[in-house]
Amino acid sequence: MIRPMHFPHRVRLALATRLRGTAAAFVLVLVLGACSSGHADRQGDAALPTTGSRIAAGGLVEPVNEERVIIPQISGRLDRVYIEEGDSVTAGQLIAEIENAELRAAMAAAAAQVDLRQAELDVLKNGARAEEIAAAEASLAAADAAARLAAETLKRNQPLLAEGRISQSRFDEVQAAADTARAERARAAASLALLRAGARSEDIRAAEARLAAARAERQRAEALFEKSQVRSPVDGTVLKRDLREGETVVALSPLPLARIGDIRQLHVRADIDELDIDRIKVGQSAKVSSDAFPGRSFPGKVIHVSQRMGRRNLSSGDPAEKQDVKILEALILLDGHPALPVGLRVDVFIDTGSVAPAAGSR
């Protein structure tokens, strides 16, 4: 006696879909249904028979905004982690900090440099204070008096040298003193003129350039510091936390800090076989089921159909299954708030005979 073979209900429905509309499909469903010892009835598939008006496919449960994998942008030791699995978070919320004492110091130094360059520019633009000009005028008056005195002394010593009453060396000292006094007066006059004239335009432009460079460095330091502040990109729930305080994170490594998704609504991402893509449309009603929830099905609606073929996302684990089969992704928005875990593999049944108004699209 030949022992009847047991086929999972997912395999039975997929085979029947390939042979829909033929007598072989009808016979195959009857034979496989009998061989499976009532397995389909236990799973609730009797309510969703695979016929010419339905599409059967595999799918994966996802958050409504897709699962976000949080991977820090810089490497370092996790100093603080503020989230636990199941926590609700909002977009922009700080969820972890990477050790950043050096980054804080660099940011403070850059800010101080900006203040210094700003002060230098202000001095050039504002010009000299009245007190500085007054002091320069006094210096010029003193230098002028000293130059006149030195000139008179030189004038008196010239006949004395001619009469031989002073030595040549003494006269040279008097002449040098007069030359020094004239030079000091010229320097004081130039300093006063510079204060009165104010800064040159090229000096101001150079100071402005130094200030801009300092501000850019401050922005760079702030941006680097911000990378040590790990924030949630979306509103949602912490689905999984992979790392803890004290552990080292590596920038852009495959090991994430956490996974976040908005599970207030759920999607199912279904792999539609290339033989069925002409029958799938936005707005069609659908149901999903899983061996994890026997006897139950969860209704939904097709809200998006991809415009590009791709590789299969799901695998049944059967070695005979072709891996190079092309599929078209479809998103099914599930009704209500079913308690399905993210990542659960499900069977998808789409009613191609009814098209309702789409709830949204992606």
Sorted by where each begins, the domain ranges of the chain are: 9-64+263-355, 69-98+228-259, 105-224
pLDDT of residue 321: 56
Largest CA distance in the chain: 154
Domain 9-64+263-355 sits in which CATH superfamily?
Efflux pump adaptor protein, beta barrel domain (2.40.30.170)
Paired sense of beta strands 298-311 and 326-334, if any: antiparallel
Beta strands in 219-360, from DSSP E residues, in sequence order: 229-231, 236-241, 248-249, 258-261, 266-273, 284-289, 298-311, 326-334, 345-355
For the sheet with 248-249, list strands across it: 229-231, 94-98, 76-81, 248-249
178 with 153: CB under 8 angstroms? yes
236 with 89: CB under 8 angstroms? yes
Query: Using H for helix, E for strand and C for coil, what is the string for 65-121?
Result: CCCEEECCCCCEEEEEECCCCCCEECCCCEEEEECCHHHHHHHHHHHHHHHHHHHHH
pLDDT of residue 320: 55
Q: In this structure, which long-range contacts are made by residues 280-283, counting pairs with CB atoms below 8 Å and at least 24 apart in sequence? A: 280/55, 280/305, 280/328, 280/330, 280/350, 280/352, 281/305, 281/352, 281/355, 282/355, 282/358, 282/361, 283/355, 283/356, 283/357, 283/358
CA torsion sign, 215 to 221 to 222 to 223? positive
CA angle 144/145/151 to nearest 5° reads: 90
Task: Please name every residue paired with 287 in a beta bridge, in sequence order, or none if there are none.
Answer: 299, 349
Instruction: Find where tokens 């976000």 sit.
Output: 68
Residue 222 CB neighbour total at 10 angstroms: 15
pLDDT of residue 341: 93
57 with 350: CB under 8 angstroms? yes
Instruction: Find where tokens 């912490």 sit.
Output: 238
Alpha-carbon distance 181 to 64, whole Å?
87
In one-letter notation, the amino acid at residue 87 is D
pLDDT of residue 353: 80
**pLDDT digits (tens), the chain, 362 positions:** 334 444 444 444 444 444 444 444 443 434 344 444 333 333 333 334 445 689 999 999 999 888 899 999 899 999 999 999 999 999 999 999 999 999 999 999 999 999 999 999 998 888 878 888 889 889 999 999 999 999 999 999 998 888 888 899 998 999 999 999 999 999 999 888 887 877 788 999 999 999 999 999 999 999 999 999 999 999 999 999 999 999 988 887 778 999 999 999 999 999 999 889 999 999 999 999 999 999 999 999 999 999 999 887 776 555 555 555 689 999 999 999 898 999 999 999 999 886 655 444 45
Joined together, the tokens standing for residue 60 give 């994966």
Residue 314 CB neighbour total at 10 angstroms: 16
Joined together, the tokens standing for residue 299 give 């209704």
Instruction: List the one residue out of 310, 266, 264, 262 whose CA is nearest residue 286.
Output: 266
pLDDT of residue 357: 53
Q: Which CATH architecture has domain 69-98+228-259?
A: Beta Barrel (2.40)
